[in-house]
Structure 1
Amino acid sequence: MTKLDSTASPASVLDYFKLHFIVIIWGFTAILGKWMTIPAVETVLYRTLIAAFILAFMVKRKEWKLPKKIILQLLMTGVIVGAHWITFFAAAKVANVSICLVGLSTASLWTAFIEPLFNKRKIKLYEVGLGLVIILGLYVILQTDLSSDMVLGLILGIIAAILAALFSTINGKFTHVAESYTITVLEMSGAAFGIILFLPFYSAYFTNGAGIDMVLKNNVYFNDTLFLDFVNLLHLNTDFVLLFVLAVICTVYAYSVSVELLRRLSVFMTNLTINLEPVYGIVLAAFFFDEHEKMDANFYLGASIILLSVLSYPIFNYVNKKIKMKKQKLV
């Protein structure tokens, strides 16, 4: 298959604004998940189904013409994306947004180990050093008087980070093979299909046989008194509004544009900016939920260590490349 044109135009100022705007949106997704009463698994199922349905009408017919192998790989990557979102929202629900985002902030650390495995290169020593510093930050946080729910939320956030590192590394190989909307619709379809296959096990082993909580199944819409109470219609649909925002703004727009921006923005700038997601998210959480009142100094010290380590990784990477270039010139 012929690859897409990789000679993309240089990044514009608008591209940088788009990237920061997307990162702010991603920082807000944990807050949306916290607000919604729908459980994490169902949230991701509805999110991916809505996004896939909308994107299916946006993808041009010729853009669907991909080798079956690529389509299958994108669908399987979508399963990883779905698992990432489930653990991400679960972390925010069982703990809080700040804890969730602290765990997520370790994503670049895991990328430092996962990416070399995919590209068959050596692991860099400074990446290992930064990983140890991040572990120190997590240790400091755990000195906080955290409840078992907070610890569980942190673990789920770290799992979400590992999955994010995995699918972002895989996506890096597809950006010049398929259009961004095509990549997104196939991955959202894969995520939704994977969750649907998981539902019988989810019902039997994770919800005590109660089945998935569709939230709406006992609502006025689905009984004999349909249309009798318009007030209930307005009251219940808070979750629908949040789901629509999550699917359209945080997925159809943000996820697709982030894939498309990889063609023009350098990896250095992209990683540096995306690493600000926990910063934006924790600030937003403090504003919306007053979570700063529930955390002590150890939490913020540990979080600061993690965020500084994460933000310093692209800088070390950039300096390392410069040193290598100078050595090559000397040779």
Structure 2
Amino acid sequence: MSKLAINRNILILHFTVLIWGFTGVLGELISVSAMHLVWYRVLIAAISLWVYFLIAKKPILVSKSQLIQYLAVGMLVGLHWVLFFHAIKISTVSVTLVTLSSVTLFTAILEPVINRKKISIADILIGLVIIFGIYLIFKFEFQYFWGIVYGLSCAFCASIFSIFNARMVKKGSPTSITFYEMIGAWIGVSMIMLISGQFDEQMILSQSDLMYLLVLGVGCTAIAYVLGVAVMRELSAFTVALTTNMEPVYGIILALLIFGQKEAMSTGFYFGAIIVLVAVFIYPYLKTKLKF
């Protein structure tokens, strides 16, 4: 693949990550619980993609083995989003987005294991720096302990499904993968809600919640997710995870602009966040220049 094509894919990925950064803001604006929010989000996304298949007259059927894989990974995606939005609701957008950056650390460890590759020393070094940055965030923002824990759990799930998406997209259509993963996420969340008795009056949406959910489901999920999965055909899972670490930068800026003082954090938090983000930017140098 040419350098121009690589740069184009990275640019598309950055645009996608910018949209994903806005999901944190929407999660704060939407009043329903994280579980209900994700239930509506993936349902809207699945319907949007189904309409796209009808209008474009593209084949929607996949093989039985692909269907099982897509639905299973989709359930993991649903869990990831429930953890993500719950972390936002019990802490802040900024705390959740920075802890989500640990997806780089998890991917550095899990990708070689899942894909049976040699673990890179550079990946481990970057992972250690990220651990230190997250430790500082824990230390200075301990009141958000559970928000940080849920954020880290969310990042762990994101790492796993990113690795599997990178593998599946080489043989399947990004749109089909996204469509069935949204269905899988909806099935998974519906099962949890059914077992826990969460199909209740909270399912009724206000006008503002409905508007925000449509933006979240169509723009930030159906469209953005298809774009994100598509570039995985040409970019490695770790490159995708690395670029995804720009999500907290975009998200924190948007949150500060929209929510103002509510999103202001301690100096220690920003110091830890800077360490995490600096690790992201020095990684390409370690990987390409030092070659280890």
Q: Is the 8 A contact 1:32 1:246 kept in 2?
A: yes
| Superimposed CA distance per residue, residues 276-328 of structure 1 (whole angstroms, 9 cap, x where no aligned partner) | 111111111111112576411111101111111233334423335xx47xxxx
Equivalent in 302, 306, 309 of residue 276 of structure 2: 306
Q: Secondary structure at the match of 2:156?
A: helix
> Residue 246 of structure 2 aligns to which amino acid in structure 1?
L
- Indicate whether 1:56 and 2:43 are aligned: no
Structure 2 match to 1:77: 73
Shift of the alpha carbon at 1:18?
A: 2.9
Shift in alpha-carbon separation, 1:17–1:115, aligned structure 2, 3 A: closer
Q: Is the 8 A contact 1:94 1:152 kept in 2?
A: yes
Shift of the alpha carbon at 1:23?
A: 1.1
Structure 2 match to 1:215: 202
Shift of the alpha carbon at 1:145?
A: 4.9
Equivalent in 114, 121, 136 of residue 118 of structure 1: 114
- Indicate whether 1:156 and 2:143 are aligned: no
What TM-score, normalized to structure 1? 0.80
d(CA) in 2 for partners of 1:90 and 1:293? 16
- What is the 5 A alignment of 1:215-254? 215-217=202-204, 236-254=206-224
d(CA) in 1 for partners of 2:153 and 2:88? 13
Equivalent in 158, 166, 174 of residue 172 of structure 1: 166
> Residue 124 of structure 2 aligns to which amino acid in structure 1?
V
Pairwise CA RMSD: 2.5
Structure index of larger Rg: 1
> Residue 56 of structure 1 aligns to which amino acid in structure 2?
W
Q: Is the 8 A contact 1:55 1:252 kept in 2?
A: yes
| Superimposed CA distance per residue, residues 120-152 of structure 1 (whole angstroms, 9 cap, x where no aligned partner) | 1222223222222222112212221532xx111
d(CA) in 2 for partners of 1:67 and 1:315? 42
Q: Is the 8 A contact 1:42 1:214 kept in 2?
A: no
Larger proportion of helix: 2
Shift in alpha-carbon separation, 1:12–1:304, aligned structure 2, 3 A: closer
d(CA) in 2 for partners of 1:124 and 1:275? 19
d(CA) in 2 for partners of 1:77 and 1:182? 13
Shift in alpha-carbon separation, 1:172–1:155, aligned structure 2, 3 A: same
| Superimposed CA distance per residue, residues 176-229 of structure 1 (whole angstroms, 9 cap, x where no aligned partner) | 2111110100000000011111113332xxxxxxx3454354x8xxxxxxxxxx
| Superimposed CA distance per residue, residues 96-129 of structure 1 (whole angstroms, 9 cap, x where no aligned partner) | 0000011101101100111011111222223222
Q: Is the 8 A contact 2:163 2:237 kept in 1?
A: no
d(CA) in 1 for partners of 2:239 and 2:113? 22
| Superimposed CA distance per residue, residues 64-113 of structure 1 (whole angstroms, 9 cap, x where no aligned partner) | 34321111011000000000000000111110000001110110110011
Q: Is the 8 A contact 1:104 1:157 kept in 2?
A: yes
Count matched residues.
Answer: 290
- Indicate whether 1:188 and 2:182 are aligned: yes
Unaligned runs of 5+ in 2: none
Please say which of residues 189-198 and 265-274 is displaced more in the overlay. 265-274
> Residue 178 of structure 2 aligns to which amino acid in structure 1?
T
Equivalent in 17, 24, 33 of residue 39 of structure 1: 33
Shift in alpha-carbon separation, 1:262–1:145, aligned structure 2, 3 A: closer
How many percent identity over aligned positions? 37
d(CA) in 2 for partners of 1:273 and 1:81? 18
Q: Is the 8 A contact 2:101 2:248 kept in 1?
A: yes
Q: Secondary structure at the match of 2:142?
A: coil
Unaligned runs of 5+ in 1: 1-6, 204-210, 220-235, 325-331
- Indicate whether 1:94 and 2:64 are aligned: no
What TM-score, normalized to structure 2? 0.90
d(CA) in 2 for partners of 1:134 and 1:165? 15
